[in-house]
Amino acid sequence: MDAMTRRTTQGRGRLFASVLETIGDTPAIRINALAPAGVDIYVKVEAFNPAGSVKDRLALSIIEEAEQDGSLSPGQTVVEATSGNTGIGLAMVCAAKGYPLVVTMADSFSVERRKLMRMMGAKVVLTPRDQKGLGMYRKAVELAEANGWFLARQFETEANARIHENTTAREILADFAGKRLDYWVTGYGTGGTVTGVGRVLRRERPETKIVLSEPANAQLLGSGHVQARNSDHSPAESHPAFEPHPIQGWTPDFIPHVLQEAVDDRLYDELMPVAGADGIACAQKLAQREGILTGVSGGSTFAVAMKIAERAEPGTVILCMLPDTGERYMSTPLFASIPEDMTEEETALSRSTPGYQLAPE
């Protein structure tokens, strides 16, 4: 049999009632070209979720728990503040379930995200970038209160960490059952991933060190400054350590209530800052050397994993989270160095044979 025809597939052995049933069970993939010798690095690729990010889990959890407890009525409008991925996940869930969705988002985030949400029927209300994440959050609250809409509250809801405790963490345990897992590396946006997975790893894989990362120029946790909160756990003000950073989806200008549990209960062993430029470089390396397309947040998490790998003992096993895909960053610095037109080398290749050449501009 020819080598190119030996691979076969068996199908999933089931039919799916809706796209929402396909959320989760994302793969942990070994890094081959980039990992240092003697150290195994795996990446959990959340782009395999149907709307392309880890936030698909959160979006489904928020809506289904609200349906179950009666806080979301049939046909009621959902509103949420988001840098993009949660909004995209909510747009998918709301489209599948028949809820109108309004998203508030600072105008500094990529236009691809706006278009993806609008493509799935959501309305996107932009807020001024100088008012940061807190501005778009407060706009969502205003709209919810003025219209009687359901506010998703991703930064405060218990549904956030719970879905990662029940799915993401369980997948990690299953994939590494009977195997070493020395480090698990993640960043934070809302904090749901580190809090939910951290609860489970602390109980069931206590030998696994949990490493949390945040932008080097916006070290909210690293500053040690306590976040001011309102009585409903929402942020009362912007955190003084915040500065604008290029790692979209990570670290808003406040410490979310969901993340606070990880801080208070010491659900991580080490906090490692990472520069946005390093995240961009690592995302490009993952694409070019491993064929794995991720965004700046994924590149940043991987940059931290590589730092750990460089100091680790032989035999160490590291798993890091890649929260989303890279295609929603086309208009950001991640793709700034990627040309649209042919390079000189590509032009030379075209001219190396006589036919089918573009006319010179």
Note the pLDDT of residue 108. 85
Q: What is the pLDDT of residue 84?
A: 86
Q: Burial of 165 by CB count in 10 Å (0-12 exposed, 13-18 middle, 19+ buried)?
A: middle
* pLDDT mean over 248-268: 95
Q: Residue 54's closest CA among 297, 284, 271?
A: 297
Q: What is the DSSP string of 209-233?
A: EEEEEEETT--HHHHTPPPPB-TTS
pLDDT tens-place string over residues 147-186? 999 999 999 999 999 999 999 999 999 999 999 999 999 9
pLDDT (mean) for 198-215:
98
What is the predicted pLDDT for the residue at 150? 98
Q: Per-residue pLDDT tens for 288-303?
A: 999 999 999 999 999 9
**The pLDDT of residue 142 is above 70:** yes
For 68-111, how does the pLDDT look when each residue is reduced to its tens digit (9 = 90+)?
Answer: 999 999 999 999 999 889 999 999 999 999 999 999 999 988 89
- The mean per-residue pLDDT over the stretch 113-132 comes to 94
Beta carbons within 10 angstroms of residue 44's beta carbon: 26
d(CA 23, CA 25): 7
Note the pLDDT of residue 2. 54
pLDDT > 70 in the chain, percent: 99
CA distance 338 to 93: 33
Q: What is the mean pLDDT of the chain?
A: 95
pLDDT at 6: 83
The pair of structure tokens assigned to 351 is 């001219």
CATH entry 3.90.650.10 includes domain 55-151: no
**Which pLDDT score, from 0 to 100, does residue 1 have?**
43
CATH 3.40.50.1100 placement within the chain: 13-48+167-335, 55-151
The answer regarding whether domain 13-48+167-335 maps to CATH 3.40.50.1100 reads yes
Q: What is the pLDDT of residue 3?
A: 56
The pLDDT-based confidence of 4 (bands split at 50, 70, 90) is: low
Q: Which residues are catalytic?
A: 55, 297
pLDDT tens per residue across span 11-29: 999 999 999 999 999 999 9
* pLDDT given at position 110: 84
Q: What is the pLDDT of residue 109?
A: 84
